[in-house]
Amino acid sequence: MTDQPVTTSNTRVRQVEAIVNGTVIDHIPGAMTLKVANLIATANDQVSIGMNLRSERLGRKGVVKISGRELDERTLSRLALIAPSATVSIIRDYQVVQKFPVPMPTMFEDIARCANPNCVTNHEKWSSRLAVVSLEPLRVRCVYCERGFETAELVLV
């Protein structure tokens, strides 16, 4: 497949290879780029990754593009937990048809384990529920044991 030159006036899509249809996740903090790609891509996805791109907002940023697919709600929640600054663009026929900040839920339900090893959710088959308590930096609190965490401490499920 050969890529056509991008004709949209949106310069952001030019920093890495253009895709015909799919999803672009932009403004990923540099260090999280590969983690985001691993999190979102399935074995059959065609993925382009741009690392250490210039960004006024983040200094260095990453971009991950997935061809032929838009992200479901659960994947967006996972993305919000590890890259809350990210933006999501939906691409159709080389054009950005929709662009939005990654939606931040008020509660992460069954997205990451509670990091307290004694928490009931790590011993019974309960889904974890982590309430968002602050946004910058993103911090959550377990609804069951009430312990608070920075998202870097959490392991996704």
Binding site for Zn ion (CB under 5 A): 114, 116, 119, 142, 144-145
Burial letters for 45-76: b for 16+ Cβ neighbours within 10 Å, e otherwise? eebbbbbebebeeeeebbbbbbbebebeeebb
Q: How far is the CB of 136 from Zn ion (least distance, A)?
A: 23
Packing angle, helices 73-82 and 33-40, rounded to 10: 160
Closer Cβ to Zn ion, 94 or 144, answer by number: 144
Q: Which is nearer to Zn ion, 12 or 129 (CB)?
A: 129
CB of 103 to Zn ion, least distance (A): 24
Are residues 88 and 71 in contact, defined by beta-carbon separation less than 8 angstroms?
Answer: yes
Closer to Zn ion by CB, 67 or 116: give it.
Answer: 116
Cα angle vertex 153, ends 109, 136, to 5°? 80
Report the Cα 11 to chain-centroid distance in Å: 21
Is 36 or 115 the residue whose CB approaches Zn ion more closely? 115
Q: Which is nearer to Zn ion, 49 or 143 (by Cβ)?
A: 143
Q: To the nearest whole angstrom, how small is the minimum distance from the Cβ of residue 99 to Zn ion? A: 35
**5 Cα distance to chain centroid:** 26
Q: What's the closest the beta carbon of residue 107 comes to Zn ion, in angstroms?
A: 13
CB of 147 to Zn ion, least distance (A): 6
Cβ atoms of residues 112 and 155 within 8 Å:
yes
